[in-house]
Every structure is written in C-alpha cells, then in structure tokens.
C-alpha cells in the first residue's frame, strides 16, 4: 500500500527535522541567544558580558580578556564524548590588526580565564582542551587566520588549519574583510564533535554565504585523560592586546553525545519537506478512495 510507505517516510522526515533542543543529549542550550545568561547558567568573568542577545567575550578595546563558561561542571558522555555547535561574529577590528581570537574550552578547574593578548583568555588554564579560532600572528602561531587544538593552557597548537585556505588576514589592502578571514564581520558557524570511544575529534566551520568545510577530521586526542575526568566546565574565552575586535558568541548548544552534527550529515530540509508533501498527497488520495 504505497500511501503507508509514504507516510512512514514522512514520519522519518519529521524526526529528522526536529530542532536540536528536542534531542535528549542536549545539556546546554542557548540556541536563541544569551539574554540573562550571565549569573544564570553561565559564569562570566573578566570583560565578558551579555550584549543584546550575544555573549560578548571582549569589546573592541585594547588589553581585554573575558570568559563565559558553565556555572557547574557538565557531565560528558563516555570517555568525555560531546558535540557542540555555535555561531560567532568578530567585528570592529582596530589597533595594529584584528586580534586576538577566541577559544571553545573544556576545563576541569573553575578559574575559567587565562591571560590577555595572544593568550586569548586561555593561556594558563590547566587540565583543559580548547579549540582556538585565532586571528593574530603571534610568534608561536603559524599565521594570522587559523583554527587549532590546544591543551593545558598552551597556545602552541597540536594542529592548525586555515579556514577556506586563507592564512593571512590583517589591515594590508583591507585583507581581513575578505571571504575566509574570521575577522571579516560575517557570521561564522562551528561544529565540533568528539567520540570518546574512538578518541577522535572533528571540527567544521561555515562562513555566512559560503559552503560548510571540514577543517579537522578524526584527530586523535585523549580528552578525558587530559581533563582527568569525564566532566568539565565548558564555554568560551577571548582576548585583545594591541590589536582589537569584538568577540561575540551569538548562539550555542552542547550535547553529551554526538547528536549535534554539521548540516551535511543531516537529512536536508528540502528533501524532508518533499516527503511531507508526498505523504499529504497520498493521504488525500487514500481518503478519496475510502469515500
């Protein structure tokens, strides 16, 4: 009976397009922004504060450092399994260059904030793992536009990759404003997944108006071993130095499983809608036959 097959397919399509917040693994949900979050779910330290509906880790002023992280430790999945997605926007670059960038961090301690400038608010945070989104070329950096994996408060990254192959973004010929530069003022989406059973980490990003790209694929790292536990305070850090920019987190979700995935790994919405439409037609025809 074809209409039953189509209805079953439609049911699967509905399940596929249920919002992330309905998934059982979600333990942090700021999908709609951060209004009222500081002091209620998030600890905001240093120069971090809610600005409108965004979590502004630092304003575009010199020598700032800020962090926003979970007020209580989050229980991660087996072997520290987690997945997360967030949107960020870096605006009003000034000083000597757009700087310095931000990190997504998991830490065992509660201090939550490291040094300013090139430390990106992360330097010195022990028993921690961070994914850095670095926009300034310090002496320990390979270039001025990269995503990397850091541990134990060190900014000497274990691995670095350039978004869209763009390595240098500064004020030379207004290069920072170009596509692929994280300081270009556009909205960026990040997707991070860690499977504790395989100890593999993957990172994807997407600039507004461009295709999603995978930067890090199945990178081997023992996050539970580095943290010394399978729970962690999770959040973000950022800093400025002689170069500045606003570091804004626009939305954020985190799950203690691998259910948050980059869009390319989900059923595309147009296909889901098409299935729903076909199911509706099948139901209507079945009803007419019964009548």
Instruction: Band the pLDDT of 24: cuts 50, 70, 90.
Output: low
The confidence band for 265, taking pLDDT boundaries of 50, 70 and 90, is low
132 falls in which pLDDT band (50, 70, 90)?
Answer: very high
8-state DSSP, 5: H
Count CA within 13 A, CB hemisphere, residue 81.
14
Burial of 10 (0-12, 13-18, 19+ CB in 10 A): buried
Instruction: State how far the alpha carbon of 229 is from the alpha carbons of 73, 110, 136, 212, 234, in Å.
Output: 11, 14, 32, 32, 13
> Residue 5 has what pLDDT?
39
Instruction: Delimit the CATH 2.60.120.200 region(s) of the chain.
Output: 25-259
Measured between alpha carbons, how far is 17 from 266 in angstroms, rounded to an integer?
9
Q: pLDDT tens digits, residue range 227-243?
A: 999 999 999 999 999 99
Q: Which CATH number is correct for 25-259, 2.60.120.200, 3.40.50.80, 1.10.10.60, 3.10.20.30?
A: 2.60.120.200
Q: Give residue 246's pLDDT.
A: 98
Across the chain, what does the average pLDDT equal? 86
Predicted pLDDT of residue 285: 42
**pLDDT band with cut points at 50, 70 and 90 for residue 115:** confident
User: How would you class 267 by CB atoms within 10 Å of its CB: exposed for 0-12, middle for 13-18, buried for 19 or more?
Assistant: middle
Region 44-68 average pLDDT: 97
Q: What is the pTM of this model?
A: 0.83
Which of 13 and 136 is assigned the larger pLDDT?
Answer: 136
User: What pLDDT sits at residue 267?
Assistant: 41
Distance CA 203, CA 153 (A): 19
- For residues 241, 247, 253 and 255, what is the CA-based torsion angle, rounded to 10 degrees? -10
pLDDT band at 8 (very low <50, low <70, confident <90, very high): very low
Token reading at 268: 């595309």
């Amino acid at each position: 009976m074809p209409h039953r097959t189509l209805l079953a397919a439609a049911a699967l399509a509905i399940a596929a397009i249920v919002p992330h917040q309905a998934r059982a693994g979600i333990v942090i949900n700021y999908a709609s922004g951060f209004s009222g979050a500081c002091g209620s779910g998030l600890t905001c330290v240093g120069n971090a504060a809610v600005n409108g509906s965004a979590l502004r880790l630092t304003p575009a002023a010199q020598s700032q450092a800020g962090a926003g992280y979970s007020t209580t430790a989050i229980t991660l999945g087996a072997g520290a399994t987690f997945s997360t997605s967030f949107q960020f926007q870096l605006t009003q670059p000034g000083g000597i260059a757009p700087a310095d960038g931000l990190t997504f961090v998991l830490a065992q301690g509660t201090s939550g904030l490291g040094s300013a400038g090139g430390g990106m608010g992360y330097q010195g945070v022990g028993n921690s793992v961070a994914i850095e989104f670095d926009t300034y070329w310090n002496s320990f950096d390979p270039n001025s536009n990269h995503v990397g994996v850091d541990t134990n408060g060190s900014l000497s990254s274990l691995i670095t990759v350039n978004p869209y192959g763009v390595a240098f973004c500064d004020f030379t010929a207004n290069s920072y404003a170009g596509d692929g530069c994280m300081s270009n003022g556009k909205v960026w989406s990040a997707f991070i997944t860690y499977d504790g059973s395989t100890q593999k980490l993957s990172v994807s990003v997407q600039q507004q108006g461009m295709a999603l790209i995978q930067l890090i694929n199945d990178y081997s790292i023992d996050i539970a071993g580095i943290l010394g536990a399978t729970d962690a305070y999770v959040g973000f850090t950022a800093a400025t130095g002689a170069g500045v920019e606003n570091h804004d987190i626009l939305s954020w979700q985190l799950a203690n499983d691998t259910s948050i995935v980059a869009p390319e790994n989900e059923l595309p919405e147009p296909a889901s809608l098409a299935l729903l439409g076909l199911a509706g037609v099948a139901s209507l025809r079945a009803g007419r036959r019964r009548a």
